[in-house]
Amino acid sequence: MTATLRLDPPADPGHNAPPPGTAIPNAPAVRRRKRPGAARRGEARAGLAMALPAVLLLLAFLIVPVLLGFALSFTNARLVSPEPPRFVGLDNFVRAFTLDPVFFRSALNTFAFAAVVVPLQAGFGLFLALLVNQRIRGVTAFRVIFFIPVVTSIVVVSILWKFMYQPDGLVNSLIDSITFGAWQGTAWLNNPSTALSAIIVLSVWQAVGFHMLIWLSGLQTVPEELYEAARMDGAGVWRQFRDVTWPCLRPTRIFVLVTITIAALGLFVQIDVMTQGGPVDSTTTLVHHAVVTGYRQQQTGYGSALSLIFFVLVLAVSLIQRHLTRDKD
């Protein structure tokens, strides 16, 4: 029993005690040899007791709801109903894929949103990270400023931008003064062809600071010597980025892309606060549709089925991430 520093979690203190009879002069082993069973039982009891509250809570409010959601997907359960849920087989899924035009629209909108937001936010975040990674005066203040929208509630952000998107609101007035009146804005949120784009802009504005910081921590792991070597070889700024920065950012890249994708697929608050899915379903999303049917229309069974479809999507993205990160090793 030596006092080595062990940093890995499976290190279990006191269990690599020498077999009985081995003469070891220092105290802990001797002590432990006296009551190995009792000590071990005590430790087992303590471990279980300390983990128990968290385990029970995770079971009750995460695992059970996941399983319940799966089970309810195959029933006609309603939130408040005198009758118990009845098994209806795949009816809810058949309804989603064949009878519910809003579901189709919501899936389309969700994918469109993700397809634009993921590259936009990741690219913009990387651009910001490169800017604030320079060793110039005052750069910390800019990091803080770019991060401020992230700590602002998305509910507040949504209602604020809803105000700014009014036909005679701040956005149109800014567009008017920037283009010297050459280009008139529109009623962004009331126009089916602009509503989703308008929501994309504020979503990126709100969340990009978070990914800037993730990129930044990735950038700071790139060894400075690599840049020096590249400069030695006469590489310019662009070559340094392409041949040094970009390859070194591979793990960060995967993490950023996956977190943005999952968050984008879960788009809900902006829609609920700003448009309620309108105009003419042009902004409805999977999660919004699931909440509207499953909660507001009280069709728990159908809403659970839609949630399950969303879950499968997220799971697929996570599995792709796991696959990509495993490739490297």
Partner 1 sequence: MAESPGAPPARTGTSEQQLRRRRRAWSYLALTGLAAFFLFPLVFMFISSLKPDGQLLSDIGSWRAFLPVGDISLDNYSAVFGRVPVGRFLLNSLLVTAAVVVLGLVVNSMAGFALSRLRWRGRGLVTGIVVATLIVPFETIAVPLVYWVAHLPIVFFQDGVPVWDIGWLDSYQVQIIPFVANAFSIFLFRQYFSTIPVSIDEAARIDGAGWFTIYRRIAVPLSGPAFATVAVLTFLPAWNQYLWPAMVVQDEKLRPVMVGMQYFFQDNPAWGEVMAYTSMITLPVLVVFLAFQRAFVSSVAASGVKG
The footprint of partner 1 on residues 112-131 (CB under 8 A) is 128, 130-131
28 binds partner 1 (CB under 8 A): yes
- How many angstroms separate the Cα of 216 from the Cα of each of 11, 34, 69, 138, 270? 32, 53, 38, 16, 27
Nearest CA to 285 out of 302, 308, 269 is that of 269
182 binds partner 1 (CB under 8 A): no
Q: What's the closest the beta carbon of residue 22 comes to partner 1, in angstroms?
A: 18
Q: What's the closest the beta carbon of residue 281 comes to partner 1, in angstroms?
A: 19
207 binds partner 1 (CB under 8 A): no
5 binds partner 1 (CB under 8 A): yes
Count of beta carbons in the 10 Å neighbourhood of residue 133: 18
Binding mask 220-259 for partner 1 (x = CB under 8 A): --x-x--xx--x-----x--xx---x-----xx-xx--x-
- The alpha carbon of residue 243 and the mean position of all alpha carbons in its chain are separated, in whole angstroms, by 29
Tell me if 194 sits within 8 A of 186, measured CB to CB: yes
- Stretch binding partner 1 (CB under 8 A), from 17-25, 113-121, 181-189, 260-268: 260-268
Residues in region 136-165 near partner 1 by CB under 8 A? 136, 139, 142-149, 151-157, 159-161, 163-164
Number of residues that bind partner 1 (CB under 8 A): 124
Q: Which amino acid appears at position 173 of this protein? A: S
Separation CA 70–CA 257 (nearest Å): 28
Query: Given the complex with partner 1, which of 51 and 280 has the nearer CB atom?
Result: 51
89: left (phi over 0), alpha (psi -120 to 50) or beta: left
173 binds partner 1 (CB under 8 A): yes
- Stretch binding partner 1 (CB under 8 A), from 39-47, 86-94, 110-118, 192-200: 39-47
Given 19, 20, 22, 80, the residue binding partner 1 (CB under 8 A):
80
Given 18, 35, 68, 98, the residue binding partner 1 (CB under 8 A):
68
Separation CA 248–CA 9 (nearest Å): 28
Peptide bond into 279 cis (omega under 30): yes
- Stretch binding partner 1 (CB under 8 A), from 87-95, 96-104, 105-113, 303-311: 303-311
HSE-CB of 212 using CA atoms within 13 angstroms: 25
Q: What's the closest the beta carbon of residue 61 comes to partner 1, in angstroms?
A: 4
Q: Three-class SS of residue 196?
A: helix
Tell me if 249 sits within 8 A of 227, measured CB to CB: no
Residues in region 88-107 near partner 1 by CB under 8 A? none
Given 18, 24, 44, 86, the residue binding partner 1 (CB under 8 A):
44
- Stretch binding partner 1 (CB under 8 A), from 42-50, 96-104, 105-113, 114-122: 42-50
Tell me if 73 sits within 8 A of 93, measured CB to CB: yes
Given 106, 261, 282, 304, the residue binding partner 1 (CB under 8 A):
304
Q: Which amino acid appears at position 8 of this protein? A: D
Query: Given the complex with partner 1, which of 109 and 252 has the nearer CB atom?
Result: 252
Token pair for residue 170?
């701040």
Q: Which amino acid appears at position 314 of this protein? A: V
